[in-house]
Amino acid sequence: MATITLYGIPNCDTVKKARAWLDGRGVAYRFHDFRKDGVPVDRLADWMDSTDGDRLINRQGTTWRKLAPADQARVTTAAGARALLVEQPSVIKRPVVDWPDGSTTVGFDPAGWALRTGP
Q: Where are the beta strands (DSSP E) in 1-119?
A: 4-8, 29-33, 96-98, 104-106
Q: Which of 12, 15, 75, 96 is catalytic?
A: 12
Q: At what angle do helices 13-24 and 110-117 cross, to 10 degrees?
A: 30
- Please give the radius of gyration of the chain, using alpha carbons only, rounded to the nearest integer: 14
61 is catalytic: no
Contact at 8 Å (CB) between 80 and 42?
no
- From the list 87, 107, 99, the residue with the least C-alpha distance to 35 is 87
Cβ neighbours of 29 (radius 10 Å): 18
Active site residues: 12
